[in-house]
Amino acid sequence: MYLLLAASDPLEHVLPHDYWIGPTLFHLFGMPFTLHITNQMIMIGVASLLMLAIFPSLFSRPDSSPPGGLKNALEAMMEYMRNEVFRPVLRENTDIFLPFLWTVFVFILFCNLLGCIPFPEIFELITGGKVQHLGGTATGSINTTATLAVIAFLFIHFNGLSMLVHALRTGTYGHHHPHPPAEKTGMTQFYEHPHAGEHMSLPQALVYAVPLYFWNFAPHPFKDKGPIADVISWLVLLVLELIGALIKPFALCMRLFGNMVSGHMVLAALIGLIVVAPTIMGQIGVGIPVMLLDLLIQLLELLVAFLQAYIFAFLTAMFIAGAVAPEH
C-alpha cells in the first residue's frame, strides 16, 4: 500500500521520470546531453493527440445548430478569449494571430487539466505497482514552459518585423495615429516618421526593417527637443526595453512552471503528513482534515489551471500587440 504513498516524498510527484534513455550525443559545458523520453514528454504527446482528435472533428463543418456538450464548452471559452481578451488588445490584427493564441491557450489548458487527473496513481493501482509514473503535468516541467516561452518570444518579434516589412512595402508605415501638423511644433525633420508613405521593394524593406524596428522599440520622449536629446533618451529607454523583452517571456515561463509544480507539491506534502503519524488512529485522525483540505486545494488547482492558460494567452497577446503596433 505504501506504493501509493509515493507522495510521502513530495518531490517524486513533480520530478520527471525517464521512460526511455537513449544515447549520449555530446557534452555541453561538461554536462552530457542524453536523449530521453520522460513521462512529462509523453503527456505533451497525449495533450496534442487529444487536441488533434477533438478540434477537427468538432469544428470542421460550419454548423448553425446550437452546440451542445464539449463543443459548447470549448466554443464558449474560445469565443470569450477572442472577444473579451484578444480583440480589445489586438484590435484589427486579431484574426491574424488568433490561431497561434488559441493553440497556445488550449494546449496549456489541456496540459494543466491532464496533470490534475491522477493518471500515475490510477495506473499504479490497476497494474499492482508495475507501471509507475504514467502521467504527470506536462507544464510542470521547466523544459516545456521554457519552450513555450521561447516560441512566444520568437513569434512576437518575427511578427513585429514581418508586419513592419509589410507596412514598408505597401506604404502604410507611419500612418497609425494622426500627428499634429508640423507647423504647430516647428520641428519638421524629426516629427514625421522617417520613411512614412514610401513603397519599398522587398530587399530594401528587409534592410530597413531591423533598424526601424529598434527605432520604434523604445518610445521617444524628447522627440521635439532636437536630434541629440532624442537619440540619447531613446538609447537609455532602449536598454530598458531590451531587458524587458527578455524578462517578459522568462516571467511567462516561470509563472506557469511555478503554479503547476507548487500545487502538486503542496498536495503531496500534506498527504505525507498522514504517513508520518505513528498509530493507525493517529493516521485516521490526521487523514480526515488533510483529505478535506486537499479537496479544497485541488479545486484551487483547477482554477489555477484555467487561470494560468488564460494569463499566458493574454500576456502573449499583449506582447504581440506591443510589437506589431507600437504606441508612438
Partner 1 sequence: MSSLLMTLAQTIPGEKGMAIAGAAIGMGVAVLGAGIGIGRIGGQAVEGIARQPEAAGKIQVNMLIAAALVEGVAFTAVVFSYLLAGKVL
Binding site for partner 1 (CB under 8 A): 142, 250-252, 254-255, 257-259, 262, 307-308, 311, 314
Question: How near is the Cβ of 262 to partner 1 at its closest, in Å?
Answer: 7
Are the C-beta atoms of residues 193 and 182 closer than 8 Å to each other? no
Question: How near is the Cβ of 84 to partner 1 at its closest, in Å?
Answer: 8
Question: How near is the Cβ of 286 to partner 1 at its closest, in Å?
Answer: 23
- CA dihedral angle for residue 17, residue 22, residue 26, residue 30, rounded to 10 degrees: 30
Question: How near is the Cβ of 322 to partner 1 at its closest, in Å?
Answer: 16
165 or 252: whose CB is closer to partner 1?
Answer: 252
Question: How near is the Cβ of 250 to partner 1 at its closest, in Å?
Answer: 8
**Which contiguous run of DSSP H or E holds residue 53?**
helix 39-59
167 or 309: whose CB is closer to partner 1?
Answer: 309
Angle subtended at Cα 241 by Cα 237 and Cα 244, rounded to the nearest 5 degrees: 145
Rounded Cα–Cα distance for residues 249 and 315 (Å): 9
9 or 63: whose CB is closer to partner 1?
Answer: 9
3 or 302: whose CB is closer to partner 1?
Answer: 302
236 or 300: whose CB is closer to partner 1?
Answer: 300
Angle subtended at Cα 260 by Cα 259 and Cα 264, rounded to the nearest 5 degrees: 110
Rounded Cα–Cα distance for residues 89 and 82 (Å): 10
39 or 259: whose CB is closer to partner 1?
Answer: 259
| DSSP states along 201-233 | -HHHHHHHHHHHHHHHHS--TTGGG-HHHHHHH
154 or 251: whose CB is closer to partner 1?
Answer: 251
Question: How near is the Cβ of 32 to partner 1 at its closest, in Å?
Answer: 18
Rounded Cα–Cα distance for residues 273 and 302 (Å): 23
**Residues ≥6 apart with Cβ < 8 Å to 205:** 165, 168, 169
Are the C-beta atoms of residues 43 and 111 closer than 8 Å to each other? yes
Question: How near is the Cβ of 176 to partner 1 at its closest, in Å?
Answer: 26
Task: Map residue 63 onto helix, strand or coil.
Answer: coil
Amino acid at 135: G
